[in-house]
Amino acid sequence: MNSLSDLQWKNRVLLIKASSDGSGAMEILNRYRQEIAERDIVWLVATDGDIRSNLEEVDPALAASVRETLRNQPGQTRVVLIGKDGGVRDRSEQLDPERLENMLEVQPVGVDPTRHLRVLAEWYPGLRKARRLFNQRPKQTPVLARSQARQTPE
């Protein structure tokens, strides 16, 4: 991942500008670890020296993108919550546990979009076969190509 836009539509992003080592922010984030994971939130804590995150690895380009985003926030903003659509959902001057909890309550829990298909497949054994046949059907021509084909004289 080279920038915050690589996380768009996949994760919500919590950016935190921390003083010195960022241990206070890390303690708060660890306290809400489960709720953060359930809501597909990636957090990045920017300290003076490095960036800490719940991502496995933070690319230097991503780190630069985080620092630039935090630098461009109005006033004394130190915490920014970015939604899955890339829009800023909340800003604050400090990472307050109560405010973080309220922010987490507002964000919906991640839902597996294929879950309903798996449940239906368990209840209706014939559905697996129908899905397989549906996926094997020939591809349809685009709507524009079909409408042009109808207009051409024979």
Tell me: pLDDT of 140 over 50: no
- Residue 12 vs residue 21, higher pLDDT: 12
What DSSP state is assigned to residue 6?
Answer: G
Domain ranges of the chain: 4-106, 115-151
Check: CB of residue 122 under 8 Å from CB of residue 46.
Answer: no
Query: In whole angstroms, what is the distance from residue 28 CA to residue 95 CA?
Result: 8
Calculate the average pLDDT of the chain.
77
From residue 69, alpha-carbon distances to 19, 57, 73, 140, 149 in Å are 17, 19, 7, 44, 50
pLDDT at 143: 46
For 4-106, give the CATH class.
Answer: alpha beta
Averaged pLDDT for residues 82-94: 88
For the ranges 32-41, 84-93, 131-140, the lowest mean pLDDT is seen at 131-140
pLDDT at 119: 60
pTM above 0.95, yes or no: no
Tell me: pLDDT of 105 over 70: yes
| E strands present in the chain | 12-17, 41-46, 51-53, 79-82, 88-92
The pLDDT tens digits for 107-122 are: 666 555 555 555 656 6
Query: In whole angstroms, what is the distance from residue 118 CA to residue 114 CA?
Result: 7
